[in-house]
Amino acid sequence: MKAQRYQQTISRRTTLTGYGFWSGLDVTVEFRPAPCGHGVVFIRRDLPGMPVIPATVDHLAHGPRRTTLSRNGTAVDMVEHILAALTGLKIDNCQVWVDRAEMPGFDGSSLPFAQVLSQVGIVRQTQLRSRLTVDQVYQVGDENSWVRAEPNPSGTCELTYLLSYPDEPAIGEQTFGAQLETVDFLKDVAPARTFVTRAEAESLRQQGLGRRVNYHDILVFENAGPINNQLRFVDECARHKLLDMIGDFALAGCDLVGKFTAYRSGHRLNGELVRQLKNRFTVQAEHRKTA
């Protein structure tokens, strides 16, 4: 088992501005340093009282095709790419100040967030980062879509995504795996972009969503491949799904030690697995206190 690492934050404030894929509304995100034990929190500076929403599974809300956090009726939406950037760079304590509910989409990846965070510098803090070690097999979903956690003798966090689009030959079958402690997040994971099929994109447009998004912003697939765009990796779709896993697993609020495999899963199942793990270990901790 590897030794626990020290918590980290950023050295100073940094800001970036974009627009939400779903709403089309402009939004500014400001990252601020935070002390040990603070965790990651979102702060809605546009609302009275500037409500705070911790990035934990306790505040996970259900939403289609994205990860939403909600507390006392206040929400932040499409947070997974920000959380993936923070986790991939091992930034544990950070305040994320925003002036809209929906986070900016940029190119559908985590790269814009990861770049500004890495540019300001990451600071080691004085307290150790807590971690959760998977002690048995946990699985959520069914035979068509599932996520599994199991013990990992290497004492690391190993992630694998198995993607299958049998009816979309341009996407097809893809697999991508990475060890979170050693992967070059900025190079190999952060640039992987959101993808949809052309039919899915047209359906979203008909619902009035994504009207500012074009084929250059995200990967929209038809039979011949992405429309008016080029892949950054041959397995970019699987890499993006693994990026989403990293962002969703950040809601555990601690480092995870285990082997995690996902098959055709999405944000909902990722969140369910995190909730199951946290509930199990919370019960164990309470049992130890009363034993």
Contact at 8 Å (CB) between 51 and 74? yes
Strands 225-226 and 122-128: unpaired
| Cα–Cα distance for residue pair 102/90, rounded to 1 Å | 23
Active-site residue, from 59, 81, 240, 267 = 267
Contact at 8 Å (CB) between 265 and 146? yes
| Cα–Cα distance for residue pair 244/93, rounded to 1 Å | 20
Structure tokens at 174: 């893809």
Q: What helix, strand, coil percent values describe the chain, rounded to 5?
A: 25, 35, 40
Q: Which candidate, 140, 139, 133, places its Cα nearest to that of 285?
A: 133
Told to judge if 267 belongs to the known catalytic residues of this protein, a careful annotator would answer: yes
| Cα–Cα distance for residue pair 266/281, rounded to 1 Å | 23
Q: Which residue numbers are catalytic?
A: 267
